[in-house]
Structure 1
Amino acid sequence: MEKFVQVGPINVAYAVEGSGPAVLLIHGTGGSYEGTWGNLGKALAPDFTVITPNYSGSGKTQDDRERLELDDLVEQNVQAVMQEGFTHFHVVGYSLGAVVATAIAAKYPERVQSVTAIAGWVESDLAVAYQFDLWQKLFRQDRELFAQFAIHTGFSPAFYSSFQTLEQLHEFTANLAATLAEGTGKQAELDTRINLRPLLGKVTAPALAIGLTYDRMVPVEQTREMAALLPDARYHEIASGHLVLWEQEAELIETVLSFVRSTR
């Protein structure tokens, strides 16, 4: 069942399933909890209460402000957990969600029991900012064109073996375009301004950084850097492109489950 929590001017939509200690799942740019976390949420639910917000611009969480800030997304996610009555929780984030998850662990070290950062990065250098600037322009111009670019850069070469024709790929592209969040452009603009360097030393919870070998959106070297800079982190690498939840979901679920269970 979908619920809502008011955080400043934003009415944040989120879902809850399962029982036990809390796990907060945070989606990435252009995504939503509905399109990202279904199978991982189901795998966690027998042992944990799984809380999955849609932050600003995704799903029913609307945000008419011109610009998003990282701390906005931090508070939107934390307040969803707090409304459910949890003062301590595990947090798992993907892509921009990994950045948000790490920032939560830095801001609330007394509350976060573990942090899992999937395809996260420490700082948006010029190359990263240039890429996400392109995302904004493509999204404004043509959402299907944006989706085609995301697929082209988001999967490893091996992924294409599951398709037979160019027409099948275009159908896949159209389906992805239809799921893109209305706030994709503003979320991508925030991606251009990320800098976690002042925060990483404040993270006290055990951390797992998951890098993706064939990632062309967040190069794996950047996730390795995150693992190296977090005070208590381990690193795991999956042979996948950035869109690991669609390419290597089974390995990702097994890896996340094992880590979260080990830190409960």
Structure 2
Amino acid sequence: MTTDHALPTPHLDVLVQGRGPALLLAHGAGGGIEGNFGLVLDDLAQDHTLVGPHYPGAGGSPAAVAPLDLDDLADRLVAAAVAAGQDSFAVLGESLGSAVAVRIATRHPTRVRALVLTAGFPTADPVLALAAQLIKSLAAAGQWDDLARLVLLSCMSPADVADLADLEPADLDAPVAQTLAAMPPGTLDHFDLVSRVDIRTDLAKVSAPTLVVVPTGDRLVLPESSYRLAAGIPGAQLIELPGAAHVLNAADRATWLRHVREFLAVLPATSA
């Protein structure tokens, strides 16, 4: 018999919004709930209760005092949902949040109604591993401007990069500054966890209905990583967002929202 693990006190800054069946949001490394899900929060909150915990060092969550642990992070997200009055939920994971979501599904299977995994990975592919190492090195050296340049470039699609061809170098200062301002203090801790994640043995244990969303223009997490997630999870559905970047723009996020709503609409009914 499968039993859920005990829950800790979450000690996380949590966004709670909306009314209806619960969606637990798991954001990416160096991001946050607004940064990953901001374009769709109001729409989803019309008929769902959104529970969006911020990882240590993001939002208003205290910074980590030790290296992040995937089991502990998964348990703390579940604890945040339960503290918000939600005993069961679908989990929407983005990038690192996809690994968190899968670990939630294997540690707390009776609570998880479904998974939506976007730009995810079972373990860091070579591109992501190199990027994580560079991000950690630059952050440790205090080279935050260069780190922001790397993040900006990595999160663009090939089409986005082509659009930069006619810009003067100075014109890039503003988007670099915006990227830097959006990175939380916990970025280094998040990417340290990215470099250590390995959920390959979890995949076959996932019993919840799963939708895997693949941005095919992703330059940070190879699309092949998402394909491996879908191949390893029994019965997983897969959709592609052609040309989409790691961080979805408004048009791609609108397409994502349509597919996610269609997926959620056919789940078994549950009480809010």
Normalised to the residue count of structure 2, the TM-score between the two structures is 0.88
**What is aligned with 1:26?**
26
Residue 127 of structure 1, CA deviation: 5.1
8 A Cα contact 1:109 1:205, kept in partner: yes
Residue 215 of structure 1, CA deviation: 1.4
8 A Cα contact 1:205 1:232, kept in partner: no
AA partner of residue 70 (structure 1): L
More strand by share: 1
**What is aligned with 2:3?**
none
Task: Trace 1:46-85 onto structure 2 (pairs within 5 A).
Answer: 46-85=46-85
Q: 1:205 aligns with which of 196, 208, 211?
A: 208
8 A Cα contact 2:92 2:115, kept in partner: yes
CA distance, structure 1, for counterparts of residue 145 and residue 267 of structure 2: 41
**What is aligned with 1:257?**
261
**What is aligned with 1:3?**
none
63-72 vs 215-224, which moves further: 63-72
Residue 55 of structure 1, CA deviation: 1.2
**What is aligned with 2:239?**
236
Query: RMSD over aligned Cα, in angstroms?
Result: 2.0
Q: Mark the runs of 5 or more structure 2 residues left unpaired by the alignment.
A: 1-6
CA distance, structure 2, for counterparts of residue 18 and residue 126 of structure 1: 39
**What is aligned with 2:130?**
130
* Seq. identity, %: 31
Residue 230 of structure 1, CA deviation: 0.2
Residue 262 of structure 1, CA deviation: 2.3
AA partner of residue 154 (structure 2): T
CA distance, structure 2, for counterparts of residue 247 and residue 73 of structure 1: 31
Q: Secondary structure at the match of 1:86?
A: coil
Deviations along 1:18-67, one digit per CA (max 9) or x if unpaired, are 10110011110001113222222111111110111101121111134231
**1:151–1:246 CA distance, 2 compared to 1 (3 A):** farther
Q: Secondary structure at the match of 1:92?
A: strand
AA partner of residue 159 (structure 1): D
Task: Trace 1:96-135 onto structure 2 (pairs within 5 A).
Answer: 96-125=96-125, 128-135=128-135
**What is aligned with 1:189?**
192
Residue 125 of structure 1, CA deviation: 4.9
Normalised to the residue count of structure 1, the TM-score between the two structures is 0.91
AA partner of residue 234 (structure 2): P
CA distance, structure 1, for counterparts of residue 217 and residue 21 of structure 2: 34
Deviations along 1:192-211, one digit per CA (max 9) or x if unpaired, are 11111221122101001111
How many residue pairs get matched?
258
Q: Mark the runs of 5 or more structure 1 residues left unpaired by the alignment.
A: 1-5
CA distance, structure 1, for counterparts of residue 200 and residue 159 of structure 2: 34
8 A Cα contact 1:155 1:247, kept in partner: no
8 A Cα contact 1:115 1:208, kept in partner: yes
**What is aligned with 2:4?**
none
**1:247–1:192 CA distance, 2 compared to 1 (3 A):** farther
Residue 218 of structure 1, CA deviation: 0.8
AA partner of residue 157 (structure 1): P
CA distance, structure 2, for counterparts of residue 212 and residue 130 of structure 1: 20
Q: Secondary structure at the match of 2:11?
A: strand
